[in-house]
Structure 1
């Protein structure tokens, strides 16, 4: 068993702090009142059975589960040896982080064997055991990187992970980088690039990015507009609207303001 626990102190003032991290051999655990911190548990060898929110599911290698603080749960080994890696953490910004990353509670997460998730917690534990981290800053940064990787490579409810979903959409994403300025682009043109039905295209985008194909295109156009607003001061807002694919300047200004909180001219002044 390997375990690293932080002494309560300054690290708990961080937006995200690590309480414990470890690798253990599991038997059976019943927590009727849950755990006082957010809790991630993943299988490194063998297999376990996990029960939470009235559902029981298997946790084989390359799978894990995230629990919020205070969620009742229980788990036990399904094989003779069940080794797990775990991370417990807290902080005033954690709930918002998890919501933004769309990391679901109490749902089994799967990932491919070659995904870096498999060894991230072990690497993190190695660093904590060999490098001083008196204020928990390194552990906090590592934990945040782990959550980002979990969102990137994990599959929730058998959804496609972002890495593989992006690969499937890559031809279209590359095409949009070249043709985003065409105001005539619609769902028919985008689905035609991949030769799939519009319904399939919508499903792939929602599972990979959490938004529709057209919303992705709007985000791309706004990103290109920001680059022009910052790097091409001689180009008018009306010209920028045309260059990035908006049919008229008023629609561009309204969309830019709604998405960024600032009108284009005010955004430009921030970088003058």
Structure 2
């Protein structure tokens, strides 16, 4: 896989939310110096060895299990400290990049990042390389789909020096599991906070930062999703029965929350999906 691939991009391809510009692998990365930077975003992931990255006036040591992000047009250089310094790399661009990196992963600048699951990222990169190497028609669209999946897993895997979305999601994971297991009954914020041994106030702050909603908003969304599953599973159930099955004491409150979350009443939802009322 040492030969890099540079897919041919059309004007249509360059309007995709995320698109591939190059991808490759070096068994031993050579010294690279770019005073003018690189025109696209780059992710370089270390498989073995140790190297040094210099960017933004900072020096970083990069080891296996880590990768480094390079933002476009930013002066940088990198070289090996111990060999072989094996790297996989992928460069990309697109209108969705700022949202994915800045708002989802808290990746705000070029630098070194540790990843929680490097193997899955490498699997993505190898898959993208395989498709990009074919040169078949519409390869850029195929690469864009795979690249978006890669970016979503990267968002979940990246650990930065400040608390990131990935870390927050991992912190909240026991709470999410608790909600799923107990969605059939009333759940309090104190119960959820006890799952991860934090205060109710901190839990609310963590949810707002990570999920962009309050804990009970998430609980209600989970309840409404479960209610939809029940409608398909057993169309004979009455609304008050479904409300009880998903933790609502009041059928009228269930209908109110359903309409707020789904944008329609439970009865409208059943009609819309052809479920017999």
Shift of 1:153: 2.9
Work out whether 1:165 is the aligned partner of 2:170: yes
Tell me how far 1:23 sits from its aligned partner: 2.0
State the SS of the aligned residue for 2:268: helix
Rounded Cα–Cα distance in structure 1 between residues aligned with 2:218 and 2:143: 33
Q: Structure 1 residues 122, 259: closer, same or farther in 2, change over 3 A?
A: same
SS of match in other structure, 2:81: coil
Match of 1:87 in 2: 90
CA distance in structure 1 between the partners assigned to 2:263 and 2:101 by the alignment: 23
State the Cα distance separating 1:87 from its structure 2 match: 1.3
The answer to whether residue 129 in structure 2 is matched with residue 125 in structure 1 is yes
Structure 2 contact 168–210 (Cα < 8 Å) conserved: no
Structure-1-length-normalised TM-score? 0.75
Aligned residues: 265
Partner of 2:228 in structure 1?
226
* Structure 1 ranges of 4+ moved more than 6 A: none
Q: Which residue of 1 aligns with 2:39?
A: 36
Change (3 A) 1:261 1:195: closer
Structure 2 counterpart SS, 1:197: coil
Corresponding position of 1:116: 120
Counterpart position of 2:68: 65
Looking at structure 1, the residues matched to 71 and 250 of structure 2 have their Cα atoms a distance apart, in angstroms, of: 46
Q: How does 1:198-213 map to 2 (within 5 A)?
A: 198=199, 202=203, 206=207, 210=211, 213=215
The question of whether the paired residues in 2 share the 8 Å contact of 1:29 and 1:76 is answered with yes
Q: Please tell me whether residue 176 in structure 1 is matched to residue 179 in structure 2.
A: yes
Is the Cα contact below 8 Å between 1:230 and 1:271 reproduced in 2?
Answer: no
The 1:113/1:220 distance shift into structure 2, 3 A limit, reads: closer
| Structure 1 residue matching 2:197: 3-state secondary structure | coil
Q: Secondary structure at the match of 1:23?
A: strand
**1:110, CA displacement in angstroms?**
1.2
In structure 2, C-alpha distance between the alignment counterparts of 1:164 and 1:122, rounded to whole Å: 26
TM-score (norm 2): 0.74
The CA RMSD over aligned residues, in Å, is: 3.8
**Contact 2:101-2:108 within 8 A present in 1 as well:** no
Query: What does residue 150 of structure 1 align with?
Result: 154
Is contact 1:15-1:92 (8 Å) kept? yes
Deviation at 1:18, TM superposition (A): 1.0
- Per the alignment, in what secondary structure is the counterpart of residue 39 of structure 2? coil
Rounded Cα–Cα distance in structure 2 between residues aligned with 1:36 and 1:74: 12
Deviation at 1:20, TM superposition (A): 0.6
Q: Deviations over 1:81-127 (max 9, x none)?
A: 44432212223444445567446232533124764224432343244
